[in-house]
Amino acid sequence: MRITEVKALEVDMDALNPGRRRRREGAPRPSYVWDGLEPSGPMGRYPKYKERRSSWSAKWKTTVCVATAEDGRFGLGVSSFAGPVCRIINDHFGPHLVGESCMATEKIFDMMSRLASPYGSQGLASYAISAVDLALWDLKGKVLERPVYELLGGPQKERIFCYATGFEAAWYMELGFRAVKLPFPYGPADGEAGLRKAEELVAGARELIGPDAALMLDCWMALDVDYTVRLAERLRPYRLRWIEDYLLPEDREGFAQVRQRLPWQTLATGEHWYLPQRFAQAANERAVDIWQPDPLWVGGVSACVRICHIAEGAGVEVIPHGGMNSPFGQHLAFAMPAVTWGERSGGVSPPGVPLAEMVSLPGTAVIEDGYLVPSDAPGFGIEVDRALLASL
């Protein structure tokens, strides 16, 4: 079965689920604000951008890639930053992939990585590779009439343990989660006051969720080496399961320094590492304990499978970034032994709103009482038809 078209679309995610869009009109939105601040980030050093991460983040829409076979069946993949990413897919990758076998996901992943090499296969090109790769795995599953997790070797676990990321810890516990990750709204510019407020945030969450639930902290590239160390030492009494994404992703020496100064603290990163090569380097450096590749950014399922195998050889856990937000990470986590937990991020849901009402892609499995089992429908089980895609 040959590929006849690979096309990328710029869409708002709610357009793929009109029912959800209608339900959300006028409904409360998940809160991602604490103490008047959004989660911090690398631009937090500049006062103009400190309070609102959204004030400087790119406003591009979502990338939706559709890969079509000669019999008319199609697969669907998703990534971010549609403005430049759709151009890469439509102008460069797509024309070279027409005529290739729908089954040749390994070959096509390699082709795209090499096609992008003149302008860099990591970063924006990696987002494009992800969207195409996910669409092809979805298509392959539909052609073979098997869920993607079976194509990856079958279920490795009975269900996936899930944690929630956001500030509404009490609501997440009510939903059945037993692990919560807090976004971090401060940074080095906040000095000692930021550390004090961070302790108030974490202490309050620990009191809400109790002594036995897991608690984590996501710093989203906002810190430096010294502030990371000071923060971890201050929060040590609250037994954080891990501290995550504390440095800029390129700061390899910084990761090594933090590891040396915090041998007792579990450290996690990787959502902004792209393609398997960086993870192979990390396996040798031994600077972090948990890798967090995003299937929608890192190079799709093909990249994630490689990363999981590297992790097993290095004795590293894999917990994909936002893995439970979509069926792509759900199928990966279900099949890969290296993946231990699943993350539900993006604010999870506002208090009182069921998780089922927060599904973006129709057909996505929903977390129940802190666990998830993916759909067993062919491909990723996404329920989006041609008529809807044609209307976008």
- Alpha-carbon gap, residue 171 to 159, rounded angstroms: 22
In this structure, how many other beta carbons lie within 10 angstroms of the beta carbon of residue 9?
A: 19
What SS3 state is found at 180? Answer: strand
Token reading at 231: 């923060």
Distances (CA, A) of 7 to 78, 142, 243: 12, 18, 38
DSSP 129-166: HHHHHHHHHHHHHHHHTSBHHHHTTS-SSSSEEEEEES
With beta carbons less than 8 A apart as the criterion, state whether 325 and 348 touch. Answer: no
Compute, in degrees rounded to 10, the torsion defined by CA atoms 230, 231, 235, 240. -120
CA distances from 215 to 89, 160, 284 (A): 39, 18, 28
| Residues carrying an active site annotation | 321
Supply 260's token pair: 């040396």
For residues 317 and 327, what is the distance between their CA atoms, to the nearest angstrom? 20
Paired strand residues for 78: 64
